[in-house]
Structure 1
Amino acid sequence: MALLYKADPVRGQHWQTLFAEHAPDIAWRAWPDIGNPHEIEYLAAWQAPEDVAQLLPNLKVLFALSAGVDQLDLGRLPPDLPVVRLLDPGITRGMCEYASWAVLSLHRDMLRYRQQQMARCWQAHALQPAVSRRIGVMGLGAQAQQILATLAPLGFGLSGWARSAHRVAGVACYAGDAQLATFLSRCDILLCVLPLTEQTQGILDRRLFAQLPRGAAVINMGRGGHLVEEDLLEALASGQLSGAVLDVLQEEPARADHPFWGHPQVVLTPHIAAMTQPGSAFAGLLENIRRFERGERMVGVVDRGRGY
């Protein structure tokens, strides 16, 4: 029995050490040195190799080394192959940290103060208390709920929206297309942590921005495919939006002439809101392997129909 790892080789060395110490019965293979392909029963990867069924004929489970699986072409994978998301508490902590920083940066007008610093301008502006600032989160999964719980003690008015109905203590929850406009009308800062699916592709567009209060700001921590970048630039230029914090783009890395690089109303970070950490993710991955071996249901199995 062997596990094939296909992702960042530096972190792969950490993964290998953990498997050697805690699961010596599982042979470790690192792409592209797969050894005997018939021995590989588990694949841990960011992206699966092409023709995975032919390459790994005895593969039993694909573990995606990410919280989402939109980077995988699920249609090209064997239909009976379980695909399992990585449930890493370190990712959730990182997302909460990033969301707090981004929300507070926009709330405290740091984009404007950064511009003033570059212009050597010393000027204070009126401070809006958190209790009068409304934060809306698109997506109400486990990570989104942790983000909302992290923001709650700061005093913001909190709301959330998802495709299906949720109940979250202290959060005004909205669901589906019928309640989207109402939700958006109550968001001074909109934060997107939706999974990327056919339904959410391009959801952050001109039509959505127009339904936000004038001068609202946007944070995208989901995927680059959620955002129509040209529509964001238009909304910033018109004043409909006052700023944006973006951790993801449609194409990464951003090309040298991308307009976001030097845009005074955009903070751009290189997809670093959260990163998989072997130290915090290993226990969950190994437990799922053991669950599978015992014939038990694994945690984080992807619903192919929903895409997450």
Structure 2
Amino acid sequence: MTTNVLFLSTPKRWSEYQAPLSRALEATGLDFRLGEDLPAEKVEYIVYAPGGATDHDFIQFPRLKAVLSLWAGIETVIGNPTLTVPLARMVDHGLTQGMVEWVTGHVLRHHLGMDAHILGQNGVWTPAAPPLAQDRRVSILGLGTLGCACGQALAGLGFPVTGWSRSAKSVEGITCLSGDEGLTQALSTADILVLLLPDTPATQNVLNAATIAQMPRGAVVLNPGRGPLIDDDALLAALDSGHLGHATLDTFRTEPLPPEHPFWAHPKVTVTPHIASETRPATASEVIAENVRRGEVGAPLLHLVNRSLGY
């Protein structure tokens, strides 16, 4: 019996995913039909990638079994009232590895003070060595798959890593905290703060004037998570006052970041254009195909979203 898989996104993404997704589905041994224009009454699985319309009517698919997101973030679809079937987010090796590389690279950049040397020192010889990693405290807000992977990579380099999550967790190599008191402790010990929380009503503006004030003077903020995690005005005020030393930002409330936004010209802000981690077609297709296979044999789907938590 044929399994019908609809690719619901933009034509550009379809051109990128058609071949690797076909190969991955073929490897499962399933008899399948994959396309971006299948009869709605036959669709059983939807491969969903934000970028086109986000107000899809999922009721039109009476045989739909699951929606499989190509992104880790599912905030554009989770609130859709017509989506009542299971929703799975993307967790794959390529996405995780990309995030580990971006976070590790920028933590080391700020730890070593590389900007001063790259931008030039005007002929002034300043032989001031940075502290060792063991003396630079890193806190990560968010201990999902990405937060844990980044934290363990940094711990492997010798950084003392504290992780905070809304619910209690235990991760090897990371001091794990939760709750309001745990958040205060994570912030107060963060020489470098990494934001990797999901975008939910409970996490929006988690970094605001009050929480920034709890951080050490001169601390650095890295945000490869979600733009709404930060109160932009509070962040700019803290940078202007010198309370924060720098902010390296990869995600923003509005993307692309408007040319007139003050982040672009601020001397203490580095903007990267949402490149910290990207879903790679080859590895993501394997995750999607495995979930389709599981759905067809009655096995539990991987990476299901908890709608009550928002991720």
The partner residue of 1:109 within 108, 113, 128 is 113
The partner residue of 1:15 within 10, 17, 33 is 17
Equivalent AA in structure 2 for residue 12 of structure 1: W
Structure 1 residue 179 corresponds to structure 2 residue 182: yes
Q: Secondary structure at the residue paired with 2:150?
A: helix
Structure 1 residue 277 corresponds to structure 2 residue 254: no
Matched-pair contact (CA < 8 Å) for 2:70–2:284 = no
Matched-pair contact (CA < 8 Å) for 1:216–1:241 = yes
Structure 1 residue 84 corresponds to structure 2 residue 81: no
Write out per-residue CA displacement over residues 253-302 of structure 1, whole angstroms, 9 at most, x where no aligned residue: 01111111121111111111111111112222111111111111101110
- Is there any run of 5+ residues in structure 2 with no aligned partner, and where? none
> Equivalent residue for 1:6?
8
- Check 1:273–1:51 CA distance in 2 against 1; reply closer, same or farther (3 A cut): closer
Please report how far the alpha carbon of residue 224 of structure 1 lies from its aligned counterpart in structure 2 after TM superposition: 0.5
- Paired residues for 1:27-66 under 5 Å: 27-30=33-36, 34-47=37-50, 49-66=54-71
Please report how far the alpha carbon of residue 35 of structure 1 lies from its aligned counterpart in structure 2 after TM superposition: 3.7
Equivalent AA in structure 1 for residue 152 of structure 2: A
- Paired residues for 1:286-305 under 5 Å: 286-305=289-308
Q: Secondary structure at the residue paired with 1:23?
A: helix
Q: Secondary structure at the residue paired with 2:262?
A: coil
Equivalent AA in structure 2 for residue 93 of structure 1: Q
How far apart in 2 are the matches of 1:306 and 1:260? 31
How far apart in 2 are the matches of 1:43 and 1:95? 26
How far apart in 2 are the matches of 1:123 and 1:268? 29
> Equivalent residue for 2:97?
93
How far apart in 2 are the matches of 1:18 and 1:68? 22
> Equivalent residue for 1:262?
265
Q: Secondary structure at the residue paired with 1:260?
A: helix
Q: Secondary structure at the residue paired with 2:58?
A: helix
Write out per-residue CA displacement over residues 26-49 of structure 1, whole angstroms, 9 at most, x where no aligned residue: 21222xxx2421121111112375
How far apart in 2 are the matches of 1:152 and 1:2? 44
Q: TM-score, normalised by structure 1?
A: 0.92
Matched-pair contact (CA < 8 Å) for 1:46–1:65 = yes
Equivalent AA in structure 1 for residue 4 of structure 2: A
Please report how far the alpha carbon of residue 230 of structure 1 lies from its aligned counterpart in structure 2 after TM superposition: 0.8
- Is there any run of 5+ residues in structure 1 with no aligned partner, and where? none
Superposition CA RMSD, Å: 1.9
> Equivalent residue for 1:26?
32
Equivalent AA in structure 2 for residue 62 of structure 1: V
Matched-pair contact (CA < 8 Å) for 2:59–2:82 = no
Moved more, 122-131 or 210-219: 122-131
Matched-pair contact (CA < 8 Å) for 2:75–2:199 = yes
Please report how far the alpha carbon of residue 64 of structure 1 lies from its aligned counterpart in structure 2 after TM superposition: 1.0
Please report how far the alpha carbon of residue 245 of structure 1 lies from its aligned counterpart in structure 2 after TM superposition: 0.8
Equivalent AA in structure 1 for residue 183 of structure 2: L
Please report how far the alpha carbon of residue 56 of structure 1 lies from its aligned counterpart in structure 2 after TM superposition: 2.5
Structure 1 residue 170 corresponds to structure 2 residue 173: yes
- Check 1:185–1:38 CA distance in 2 against 1; reply closer, same or farther (3 A cut): same
Structure 1 residue 194 corresponds to structure 2 residue 200: no
- Check 1:270–1:156 CA distance in 2 against 1; reply closer, same or farther (3 A cut): same
Q: Secondary structure at the residue paired with 2:248?
A: strand
Q: TM-score, normalised by structure 2?
A: 0.91
Matched-pair contact (CA < 8 Å) for 1:46–1:71 = no
- Check 1:90–1:19 CA distance in 2 against 1; reply closer, same or farther (3 A cut): closer
Matched-pair contact (CA < 8 Å) for 1:19–1:26 = no
How far apart in 2 are the matches of 1:49 and 1:108? 42
Write out per-residue CA displacement over residues 120-145 of structure 1, whole angstroms, 9 at most, x where no aligned residue: 46453442221110001111122211
Matched-pair contact (CA < 8 Å) for 1:196–1:223 = yes
Q: Give aligned-pair identity as a percent.
A: 36
> Equivalent residue for 2:227?
224
How far apart in 1 are the matches of 2:260 and 2:123? 28
> Matched residue pairs, number?
302
